[in-house]
Amino acid sequence: MIKISNIYKSFEQKEVLKNISMEFNKGETNLIIGRSGSGKTVLLKSIVGLLEVDRGKIFYDDRDFTSMNLKLRKKLRQEMGMVFQGGALFDSLTVEENIRFPLDMFSMLSSAEKQKQVDFCLDRVNISDANKMFPSEISGGMQKRVAIARAIVLNPKYLFCDEPNSGLDPETSILIDELVHQITVDLQITTIINTHDMNSVMEIGDNILFISEGEMCWEGNRKEILSTDNHKLQEFVFANKQYQKIRDDKINE
């Protein structure tokens, strides 16, 4: 479980996050949604500590992350995995070396055990025959999957994904969403995903935080989202006419 309370963050004069509080549950896919530029990435980066918040507190299972020193944070980070918007694979390393990197850095496993874990993770994200390829030689969807494999190789307790399916076709997007959802449920981890993709919201939105211009506007789950009476959220959700139709069908039923 991750809890954030009263988070503020600004860059110079510009206030990007204003008083955001939320609980992200374990074993669920927690979504942060909002328009482009609403502050999703800044919020996610603040939660993991890549950005320092100006005010507010962040708790990882009751451990106060905001007051930790660098050493304690580094320790805690070994329990985190993160998938970045562009994948952020190390382009000088092969697929297999990318996934093994966290193990080489932090685990005491023998190299046979490491190999087993790498193979397990590759299998988990349905990748085969790409072990020796470099990131530049595989497709964007595959890069995302490799990034997911790398993020879960140390059996994290917390998984963060910044727009895991941006730039992917709808079919692959759904596969990636399902993959992250499955991993979250199977491993009982706390997952936070940034997205502005309504398909993802309807597929895997167990617990949703909607932010608009850096302010929290709404929270709920995918069942509640279509019947919302929050205007800003309505604008966001029904920008795609398809969902208007789904809602109207539901009402008529």
Partner 1 sequence: MNIFNQAGKYFALMAKVFSRPERHSLYVRQTFNEIENLGIKSVGIVAVISVFMGGIMTLQVAYNMINPLLPTTLIGLGNRDSLILEFSSTIMGLIMAGKIGSNITSEIGSMKVTQQIDSLEIMGVNSAGYLILPKIIAVVLIFPLLYILSVFFGIVGGLIVGPAVGAVSAADYLSGIQFGFNPYYVTFSLIKCVVFGFLIASIAAFFGYTVEGGAFDVGTASTRAVVNTSIMILVSDLILTQLLL
Ligand X SMILES: Nc1ncnc2c1ncn2[C@@H]1O[C@H](COP(=O)(O)OP(=O)(O)OP(=O)(O)O)[C@@H](O)[C@H]1O
CA-based torsion, 108, 110, 115, 117: positive or negative: negative
Q: Give the list of residues 6+ apart from residue 45 with CB closer than 8 angstroms, or none.
A: 51
Between residues 34 and 81, which has the closer beta carbon with respect to partner 1?
A: 81
SS3 state at 168:
coil
| Of 156, 159, 157, 150, nearest in space to 30 by CA | 159
Between residues 104 and 186, which has the closer beta carbon with respect to partner 1?
A: 104
The enclosing H or E element of 22 equals: strand 14-24
CB atoms within 10 A of CB 163: 22
Between residues 8 and 101, which has the closer beta carbon with respect to partner 1?
A: 101
In 70-189, beta strands by DSSP E:
80-83, 158-162
Span of 30-38, 105-113, 132-140, 223-231 interacting with ligand X by CB under 6 A: 30-38
212 interacts with ligand X by CB under 6 A: no
Minimum separation from the CB atom of position 197 to Mg ion (A)? 12
Which residue of 29, 38, 41, 228 would you call a contact of Mg ion, by CB under 5 A? Answer: 41
Q: Which residues sit at the interface with partner 1, rule CB under 8 A?
A: 45, 48, 50, 73-78, 80-82, 84-86, 88-91, 101-102, 104-106, 154, 160
When computed from its CA atoms, the radius of gyration of the chain, rounded to whole angstroms, is 19
195 interacts with Mg ion by CB under 5 A: no
Between residues 43 and 154, which has the closer beta carbon with respect to partner 1?
A: 154
Q: Which stretches of the chain bind ligand X, using CB under 6 A? A: 11, 14, 16, 34, 36-42, 196
